[in-house]
């Protein structure tokens, strides 16, 4: 078993003036190098969990442990050095006047010497494929490009863990693909630990583990396939099965003997092809 | 109200060094009572096009005819106000336009601007709220105390209360969760059916375009690339993919399967049911 | 809006573009001081020539500079006429009915409007060659010593740069909301006063609410990225002072001495 990157135990939180807790007794773990997806409908409490993890909100009870460090007021700034978060709205997290300034912002805050900064900014921008845009101002960028810059700003800090808090929900399909690809590259190629928060189950197909939240509580946890097999239960909590799963279910209903666990379009096509050859 | 575009061109900042041609040679017609989807990627001219539908923008050349209104560059903007009541536009993230203290006042805002008497406007507001599926209790609440999805419905009610003949929807489901998206699209489909509203949907979702629209308009680089029924447009998925556009996932699956197996699936495959049906037929046919 | 050239940066790679923004800012301050030394034809000639040389060094088409002046020309003309008619000095040149125009009036008119023109030219010189961010960096660096007196120089500079970054975003948003309200029958360009006020409210309320939300989200994002004030922060942007910067400032001093000698 790989080392624990994050462990959350019995986490609860209540916003002032709200009748009930937005996060109730949430417990989960993330191992180093894993991609964990936290899913739930809008208002299910998943984004509140993200803010709690970053210490941007203070939990009512429960323990958050990042590697060996317990999150509290004394460790908060150290922990923020080790974790990065990309938020939903591409515009409202772009601080710098140009792409390079924005990527450098986090490094400046952490007092990184200038020579190192230049190297790390360049490397991070390259990793998200935005090197042509180094000197561009934000209003010349698309939403997807701004989100990639936000990701670069975090990579530059060389964190142990990245949280993507609905980072794709305001983007068009092209922007969404760009950002998902950047996440995928980070996780697979750089072995970065990633927590992605989303209401779109299409985006979790490649995750290692999926945690489902509803009304502030964790209601299911497992591999994407285990979660997809919950079927109608997901629709009850305002989520929707990925397209491939829907097609599989319909095909099974009319008697196709689908056995393999194909979750992507390509896998399903291959499985159907095999069936076709053997019919 | 039929909508006809003839040789429409729009240049932003015309006659300046910053001139930018956003639309050219646009010819199209939308018959009264149809449901049309406009697709194309960001920057294809979609949003410039839709602002011509109620005279927010005027063509720098050519003619836009909407019912008995004719818009050319010569028309004074003041003359376009009556048209705005007939064509309601729901912009992307419409909840950003809310500003009144109560939901009722905000929904009444449009009708009052067009000279509807207050009592009548209030009646219309109530009707509009029920059309978008909100309970009457919210009338006296502040729109800013509602959830994001509810705020969006209030903003849409504000457009419906103007009782337009045409409704234009710019990415109405952006940012909503799957259930929210589905409910929103079903709501517009119902309005289209029951109120005979001419509906013009601007969307990135090819699934929605295929499922709800009678007719598609594909925009590319500032002009109309192709128009037709969903079946006609998605019959040739490669052409769309080459433009960098998506096709419905059902069509994508069909295409990949056809490629792999080397036989055609005899179905348009615009919905999952059609797709499953098509695959069934493929499997029941004899070997090639 | 697009034709307003004052305050508009024109990208380039001239010696002036490459100057340290601090030197440029200092130059403008010094310039504003010495303009008041000029009080006769010789001194104004020296200043005008110096200014023209600075503008030539920009290597930007002169039409850019002229375009920037156009909106202000009528103010310059007005200043000129005001002095022409109000100054009663020197020989009488013309007399048309009640109006008498004196030689001193013409001279005063030319000098004062020229002074005004020079001010505008030097600011245009600064803004054409310097991005707002560079100006912000220069301000932060030049006023840095004030930190000792508890002036929040870093915070003010950061505020300036964030405001600059959000100007295009807010303009876009203003346009969007105006369009959305226009689609609901709002007329932003006419109508009786009451309706106009209502129109403004329908624009300003959403704009404010949205800006607050933006500011809040931005603050959270900054905190998450480790921002906690200027303490212990390093800087990515580096200002480098070159010999050319010193030279140019020395040349301003030389002009100042020349003006001293030539003024009457």
Task: Quick: pLDDT tens for C136-145.
Answer: 889 889 998 8
Please indicate, yes or no, whether residues C189 and C246 belong to a single structural domain of this protein. no
> What residues in B contact A270, CB-CB < 8 Å?
260
Q: Which of A244-248, B147-151, B242-246, C9-13 has the lowest mean pLDDT?
A: C9-13
Task: Give the model's pLDDT for residue C100.
Answer: 81
- Binary contact (B257, A273; C-beta < 8 A): yes
Task: Give the model's pLDDT for residue B79.
Answer: 87
Q: Does A104 touch chain C (CB under 8 A)?
A: yes
For C105, what's the count of Cα atoms within 13 Å in the CB-facing half-sphere? 17
Q: Give mean pLDDT, residues C246-260.
A: 94
Residue A260 is assigned to a structural domain of this protein: no
Q: Does C160 touch chain A (CB under 8 A)?
A: no
Cα(B83)–Cα(B155) distance, rounded to whole angstroms?
20
Q: Give mean pLDDT, residues B150-176.
A: 95
Question: What residues form DSSP beta bridges with B220?
Answer: B223
> pLDDT averaged over chain B?
93
Instruction: Give the chains touching C; criterion: ≥3 Cβ pairs < 8 Å.
Output: A, B
Cα(C172)–Cα(A142) distance, rounded to whole angstroms?
14
Q: State CA B54 to chain mean position distance.
A: 13
pLDDT at B69 over 70: yes
- Binary contact (A108, C162; C-beta < 8 A): no
Q: Give mean pLDDT, residues A23-44.
A: 95
pLDDT 10s digits, A204-218: 999 999 999 999 999
Task: Give the model's pLDDT for residue B32.
Answer: 95
pLDDT at A108 over 70: yes
> What residues in C contact A94, CB-CB < 8 Å?
165
Q: What is the helix (H) or strand (E) element at residue C99, kind and residue range?
A: strand C99-102
Q: Which of B259-268, C68-77, C144-153 has the lowest mean pLDDT?
A: C68-77
- Binary contact (C189, B96; C-beta < 8 A): no
Mutate to test the interface with B, among A40, A144, A268, A276 (most CBs of B within 10 A): A276
How large a percentage of chain C has pLDDT more than 70? Answer: 97
- Closest residue in chain C to residue B96, using alpha carbons only: C206
Residue A173 is assigned to a structural domain of this protein: yes
* Residue in C182, C189, C202 closest to B99 by CB: C202
Give which of B150, B189, C191, B266 is closest to A43, Cα–Cα: B150
Mapped onto helix, strand or coil, the DSSP state of residue A8 is strand
Q: Does C243 touch chain B (CB under 8 A)?
A: no
Tokens of B40: 């194309």
- Binary contact (B179, A240; C-beta < 8 A): yes
Are B151 and B143 within 8 A, CB to CB? yes
Q: Does C176 touch chain A (CB under 8 A)?
A: no
Confidence of residue C39 (pLDDT cuts 50, 70, 90): confident
Q: Read off φ and ψ for residue B58, nearest 5 degrees.
A: -110, 145
Residue C102 lies in domain: 21-130+240-262
> What residues in C contact A89, CB-CB < 8 Å?
217
Q: Give mean pLDDT, residues C8-36.
A: 91
Are B209 and B37 within 8 A, CB to CB? yes
Confidence of residue C89 (pLDDT cuts 50, 70, 90): confident
- Binary contact (B97, C177; C-beta < 8 A): yes
- Binary contact (B85, C185; C-beta < 8 A): yes
Are C64 and C128 within 8 A, CB to CB? yes
For chain C, the distance separating the N- and C-terminal CA atoms, rounded to the nearest angstrom, is 43
Are B90 and B167 within 8 A, CB to CB? yes
Q: Give mean pLDDT, residues C147-160.
A: 88
The β-bridge relationship of strands A4-13 and A61-66 is antiparallel
Q: DSSP assignment, residue C144?
A: G
Confidence of residue A72 (pLDDT cuts 50, 70, 90): very high
- Binary contact (C228, A95; C-beta < 8 A): no
Please enumerate residues of B whose Cβ is less than 8 A from a Cβ of C.
13, 16, 18, 51, 54, 56, 77-78, 81, 84-85, 88-89, 91, 94, 96-99, 109-110, 113-114, 144, 158-159, 162
Please indicate, yes or no, whether residues C120 and C52 belong to a single structural domain of this protein. yes
What ranges in A156-264 are assigned the alpha helix state H?
Answer: 173-189, 224-228, 232-236, 243-253
Query: Residues 6 or more apart from A178 whose CB is under 8 A from it?
Result: A144, A145, A147, A148
Are B215 and B35 within 8 A, CB to CB? yes
Instruction: Give the chains touching A; criterion: ≥3 Cβ pairs < 8 Å.
Output: B, C
- Closest residue in chain A to residue C237, using alpha carbons only: A101
Q: Read off φ and ψ for residue B7, nearest 5 degrees.
A: 50, 45
Residue C102 is assigned to a structural domain of this protein: yes
Please indicate, yes or no, whether residues C183 and C155 belong to a single structural domain of this protein. yes
Task: Give the model's pLDDT for residue C2.
Answer: 39
Q: Give mean pLDDT, residues A242-264.
A: 89
CATH code where residue A83 lies: 3.40.50.300
SS (H, E, C) chain B: CCEEEEEEEEEECCCCCCCEEEEEEEEEEECCCCEEEEECCCCCCHHHHHHCCCCCCCCCEEEEEECCEEECCCCCHHHHHHHHHHEEEECCCHHHHCCCCCHHHHHHHHHHHCCCCHHHHHHHHHHHHHHCCCCHHHHHCCHHHCCHHHHHHHHHHHHHCCCCCEEEEECCCCCCCHHHHHHHHHHHHHHHHHHCCEEEEECCCHHHHHHHCCEEEEEECCEEEEEECHHHHCCCHHHHHHCCCCCCHHHHHHHHHHHHHCCCCCCCCCCHHHHHHHHHHHHHCCCC
Residue A232 is assigned to a structural domain of this protein: no
pLDDT 10s digits, B16-44: 767 889 999 999 999 999 999 999 988 89
Residue C139 is assigned to a structural domain of this protein: no
Split into its structural domains, chain A has a count of 1
Q: How many residue contacts between B and C have a Cβ separation below 8 Å?
A: 58
Please indicate, yes or no, whether residues C113 and C39 belong to a single structural domain of this protein. yes
Mutate to test the interface with B, among A200, A247, A257, A262 (most CBs of B within 10 A): A247
- Binary contact (B84, C190; C-beta < 8 A): no
CATH number of B3-247: 3.40.50.300
Residue A159 lies in domain: 4-221
Q: How many residue contacts between A and B have a Cβ separation below 8 Å?
A: 77
Task: Give the model's pLDDT for residue B270.
Answer: 92
Domain extents for chain B? Answer: 3-247, 248-288
Q: Does C161 touch chain A (CB under 8 A)?
A: yes
Report DSSP letters for A172-193, one per residue: -HHHHHHHHHHHHHHHHHS--E
Please enumerate residues of B whose Cβ is less than 8 A from a Cβ of A.
41-42, 147-149, 174-180, 182, 204, 244, 246, 249-250, 252-253, 256-257, 260-261, 272-273, 275-276, 279-280, 282-283
Q: How many residue contacts between A and C have a Cβ separation below 8 Å?
A: 92
Task: Give the model's pLDDT for residue A75.
Answer: 94
Task: Give the model's pLDDT for residue A103.
Answer: 96
> What residues in A contact B42, CB-CB < 8 Å?
142, 172, 174
Are A255 and A273 within 8 A, CB to CB? no
* Residue in B178, B252, B282 closest to A238 by CB: B178
3-state percent breakdown (helix, strand, coil) of chain C, nearest 5 = 70, 5, 25
For chain B, the distance separating the N- and C-terminal CA atoms, rounded to the nearest angstrom, is 51
Mapped onto helix, strand or coil, the DSSP state of residue A28 is strand
Please indicate, yes or no, whether residues C69 and C190 belong to a single structural domain of this protein. no
Q: Give mean pLDDT, residues C156-163.
A: 88
Residue C51 is assigned to a structural domain of this protein: yes
pLDDT at C4 over 70: no
Task: Give the model's pLDDT for residue B286.
Answer: 57
Mapped onto helix, strand or coil, the DSSP state of residue A16 is coil
- Closest residue in chain A to residue C213, using alpha carbons only: A92
Tokens of C19: 């100057």
Task: Give the model's pLDDT for residue B288.
Answer: 47
Task: Give the model's pLDDT for residue C238.
Answer: 86
Residue A83 is assigned to a structural domain of this protein: yes
> pLDDT averaged over chain C?
88
Query: Is pLDDT larger for residue A172 or for residue B286?
Result: A172
Quote the ipTM score: 0.91
Please indicate, yes or no, whether residues C163 and C40 belong to a single structural domain of this protein. no
- Binary contact (A114, C236; C-beta < 8 A): yes
Please indicate, yes or no, whether residues C124 and C252 belong to a single structural domain of this protein. yes
Q: Does A243 touch chain C (CB under 8 A)?
A: no
Cα(A167)–Cα(A148) distance, rounded to whole angstroms?
10
Q: DSSP assignment, residue C130?
A: S
Residue A256 is assigned to a structural domain of this protein: no
What is the per-residue burial (b if ≥16 Cβ within 10 Å, else e) of C135-160? bbbbbbbbeeeeeeeeeebbeebbeb
Confidence of residue B287 (pLDDT cuts 50, 70, 90): low
Q: Give mean pLDDT, residues A64-91.
A: 93
Cα(B160)–Cα(B53) distance, rounded to whole angstroms?
16
The residue count of chain B comes to 288
Angle between helices A114-127 and A143-155 in degrees, nearest 10? 130
pLDDT at A109 over 50: yes
Please indicate, yes or no, whether residues C256 and C155 belong to a single structural domain of this protein. no
Confidence of residue B283 (pLDDT cuts 50, 70, 90): confident
> What residues in A contact C165, CB-CB < 8 Å?
94-97, 137-138
Split into its structural domains, chain C has a count of 2
Q: Does A169 touch chain B (CB under 8 A)?
A: yes
Question: What residues form DSSP beta bridges with B133?
Answer: none
Give which of A149, A160, A139 is closest to A103, Cα–Cα: A149
Query: Residues 6 or more apart from C166 whose CB is under 8 A from it?
Result: C214
Residue C9 is assigned to a structural domain of this protein: no
* Residue in B178, B256, B283 closest to A199 by CB: B178
Distance, in angstroms, between B112 CA and closest chain C CA? 9
Mutate to test the interface with C, among B54, B96, B174 (most CBs of C within 10 A): B96
pLDDT at C5 over 50: no
Confidence of residue C7 (pLDDT cuts 50, 70, 90): low
- Binary contact (C234, A112; C-beta < 8 A): yes
Residue C69 is assigned to a structural domain of this protein: yes
Q: Does A111 touch chain C (CB under 8 A)?
A: yes
How large a percentage of chain B has pLDDT more than 90? Answer: 84
> What residues in C contact B18, CB-CB < 8 Å?
2
> What residues in C contact B108, CB-CB < 8 Å?
none
């Amino acid at each position: 078993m790989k080392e624990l990157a994050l462990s959350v135990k019995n986490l609860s939180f209540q916003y002032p003036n709200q009748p009930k807790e937005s996060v109730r007794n949430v417990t989960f773990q993330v191992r180093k190098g894993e991609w964990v997806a936290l899913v739930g409908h809008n208002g299910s409490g998943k984004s509140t969990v993200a803010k709690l993890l970053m210490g941007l909100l203070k939990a009512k009870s429960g323990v958050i442990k990042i590697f060996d460090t317990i999150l509290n007021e004394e460790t908060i700034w150290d922990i923020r050095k080790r974790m990065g978060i990309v938020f939903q709205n591409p515009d409202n997290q772009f601080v710098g006047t140009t792409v390079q300034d924005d990527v450098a912002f986090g490094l400046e805050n952490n007092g990184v010497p200038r020579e190192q900064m230049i190297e790390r900014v360049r490397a991070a921008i390259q990793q998200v494929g935005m090197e042509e845009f180094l000197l561009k101002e934000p209003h010349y960028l698309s939403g997807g490009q701004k989100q990639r810059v936000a990701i670069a700003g975090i990579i530059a800090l060389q964190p142990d863990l990245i949280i993507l808090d609905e980072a794709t929900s305001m983007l068009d399909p092209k922007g969404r693909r760009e950002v998902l690809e950047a996440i995928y590259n980070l996780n697979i190629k750089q072995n970065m630990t990633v927590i992605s928060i989303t209401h779109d189950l299409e985006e979790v197909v490649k995750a290692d583990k999926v945690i489902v939240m509803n009304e502030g509580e964790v209601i299911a946890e497992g591999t994407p396939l285990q979660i997809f097999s919950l079927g109608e239960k997901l629709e009850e909590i305002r989520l929707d099965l990925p397209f491939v799963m829907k097609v599989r279910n319909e095909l099974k209903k009319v008697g196709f003997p689908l056995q393999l666990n194909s979750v992507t379009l390509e896998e399903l096509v291959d499985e159907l092809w095999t069936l076709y050859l053997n019919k | 109200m039929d909508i006809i575009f003839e040789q429409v061109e729009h240049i932003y900042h015309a006659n300046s060094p910053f001139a930018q041609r956003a639309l050219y040679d646009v010819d199209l017609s939308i018959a009264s009572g149809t449901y049309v989807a406009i697709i194309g990627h960001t920057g294809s001219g979609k949003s410039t096009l839709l602002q011509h539908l109620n005279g927010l923008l005027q063509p720098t050349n050519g003619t836009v005819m909407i019912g008995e209104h004719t818009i050319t560059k010569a028309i004074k903007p003041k003359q376009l106000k009556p048209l705005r009541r007939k064509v309601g536009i729901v912009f992307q993230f419409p909840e950003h336009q809310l500003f009144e203290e109560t939901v009722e006042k905000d929904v009444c805002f449009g009708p009052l601007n067009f000279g509807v008497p207050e009592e009548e406007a209030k009646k219309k507001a109530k009707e509009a709220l029920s059309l978008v599926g909100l309970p009457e209790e919210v009338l006296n609440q502040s729109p800013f105390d509602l959830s994001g999805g509810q705020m969006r419905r209030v903003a849409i009610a504000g457009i419906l209360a103007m009782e337009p003949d045409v409704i234009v929807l710019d990415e109405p489901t952006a940012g909503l969760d799957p259930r929210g998206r589905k409910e929103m699209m079903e709501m517009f489909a119902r309005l289209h059916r029951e109120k005979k509203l001419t509906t013009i949907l601007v969307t990135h979702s090819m699934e929605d375009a295929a499922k709800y629209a009678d007719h598609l308009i594909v925009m590319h680089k500032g002009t109309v690339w192709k128009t037709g029924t969903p079946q006609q447009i998605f019959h040739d998925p490669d052409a769309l993919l080459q433009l960098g556009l998506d096709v419905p996932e059902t069509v994508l699956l069909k295409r990949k399967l056809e490629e792999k197996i080397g036989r055609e699936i005899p179905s348009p495959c615009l919905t999952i049911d059609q797709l499953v049906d098509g695959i069934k037929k493929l499997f029941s046919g004899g070997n090639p | 809006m697009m034709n307003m050239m004052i305050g508009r940066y024109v990208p380039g790679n001239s010696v002036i573009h490459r100057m340290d923004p601090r030197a440029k800012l200092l130059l403008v301050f010094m310039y504003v001081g010495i303009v008041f030394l000029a009080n006769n034809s010789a001194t104004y000639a020296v200043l005008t020539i110096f200014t023209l040389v600075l503008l030539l060094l920009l290597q930007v088409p002169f039409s850019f500079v002229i375009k920037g002046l156009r909106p202000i020309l009528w103010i310059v003309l007005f200043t000129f006429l005001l002095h022409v008619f109000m100054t009663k000095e020197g020989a009488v040149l013309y007399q048309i009915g009640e109006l008498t125009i004196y030689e001193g009036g013409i001279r005063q008119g030319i000098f004062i409007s020229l002074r005004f023109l020079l001010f505008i030219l030097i600011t245009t010189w600064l803004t054409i060659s310097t991005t707002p961010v560079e100006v912000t960096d220069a301000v932060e660096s030049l006023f840095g010593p004030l930190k000792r007196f508890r002036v929040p120089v870093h915070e003010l500079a950061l505020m300036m740069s964030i405001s600059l970054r959000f100007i295009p975003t807010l303009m876009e948003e203003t346009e969007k909301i105006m369009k959305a309200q226009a689609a609901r029958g709002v007329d932003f360009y006419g109508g009786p006063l009451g309706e106009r006020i209502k129109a403004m409210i329908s624009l300003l309320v959403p704009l404010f609410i949205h800006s607050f939300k933006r500011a809040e989200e931005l603050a959270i994002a900054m905190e998450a990225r480790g921002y906690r004030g200027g303490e212990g922060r390093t800087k990515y942007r580096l200002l480098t002072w070159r010999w050319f910067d010193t030279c140019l400032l020395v040349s301003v001093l030389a002009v100042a001495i020349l003006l001293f000698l030539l003024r009457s």
